Amino acid sequence: MIIGARPATTPKPLSTHDFVRALGVPDLPPRTSPFDPGYDPATLISHLEQSHQLISRLKISMACWLIADEEATRSKIAAAHRLGVPLVTGGGPFEIAEDRGRLESFLELVASFDIDRIEAGEGFTKLRRTPREYVALAGSFGLTVQMELGDKHAGAFTPAIVQELIATGSTWLDAGAKQIVVEARESAQTVGLFDDSGRLNFDAAEAFAGAFGMDRTIFEAPNKRSQFDFLTHFGNTVNLSNVRIEEVLRVEIYRRGLHSDAYARELAPRSTA
């Protein structure tokens, strides 16, 4: 070593984020809301640890959390809070609680779990109050509301149903609901925007997005075909939900053009950073 010479410095290793940015991939806000249909805590927490930065809101889905071991559920919620992932309960328990005359108790329970949003819906029951009453009631427990549109058992939307649901969704948004969710269940087939073969009704999807705006519209996309169809059609600003948590990374590389099926359209035209 030469006396008086400054020691060589070790260059800082390139991070994965820096490398992806150098490819020309922009930083994107989280727009995917996966759901927990009853994963064991270790599995869910592991996925949250690797994908939390990509998750807009984790849906504690269906009624599984109501009959699971309560401490297991609380451990999942604690992990989501630790990692900065907002939470929402699925719409099924909301409908059942209201139909059974126990909605206030349900809202109190949700708030006690430190969950800040509920999903309302009218997918298999009939609601008895106005959207404004539901939003106000949820707000009294410190909860916000997103509304899911569509009957779970009536098949694919007709043009008339689309217009009816747009009117319903607009009423909920005017009442203070934060976002509108468009039904697809776990199949994306013969339900909502999807026909018997699983083909997406692009015109109807455009109608919902046009009526509510992209930021306030969430499309349920439970399988690869539906996820890729929405992303291909709307681009990387589309909000997706009902994505299985183990599929979040695949959805997000497609969103960014890092998937072979999306590269030519989404990333290749961009300049490198």
- pLDDT > 80? residue 4: no
CA atoms within 13 A on the CB side of 239: 18
Is 79 inside any structural domain? yes
Asked if 67 contacts 103 with a C-beta cutoff of 8 angstroms, the reply is no
pLDDT of 9: 66
Cα-trace Rg, the chain = 21
What's the domain count of the chain?
1
Q: How far apart are CA 191 and CA 172, in angstroms?
A: 22
pTM above threshold 0.85: yes
pLDDT digits (tens, 9 = 90+) for 57-86: 999 988 999 999 999 999 999 999 999 999
For residue 192, what pLDDT is reported?
87
Structural domain contains residue 192: yes
Which CATH number goes with the domain that contains 96?
A: 3.20.20.70
Question: What kind and span of H or E run contains 111?
Answer: helix 103-112
Is residue 7 a part of any domain in this protein? Answer: no
> What residues contact residue 192 under an 8 Å CB cut-off, 6+ apart?
150, 156, 157, 182, 183, 184, 185, 220
**For residue 21, is it within any domain?**
no
**188: which DSSP letter?**
-
Higher-pLDDT residue of 5 and 138 is 138
Query: Where in the sequence is the domain holding 60, given as residue range(s)?
Result: 30-267
What is the SS3 assignment for 89?
A: strand
How wide is the angle at C-alpha 186 spanned by C-alphas 183 and 191, nearest 5°? Answer: 45
Q: Are 222 and 186 in contact (CB under 8 A)?
A: yes
Residue 42 lies in a domain: yes
- State the Cα angle at 141 between 136 and 143, rounded to 5°: 75
Residue 164 has pLDDT above 60, yes or no: yes
Task: Decide if 36 is inside a domain.
Answer: yes
| CA–CA distance, 241 with 231 (Å, rounded to integer) | 12
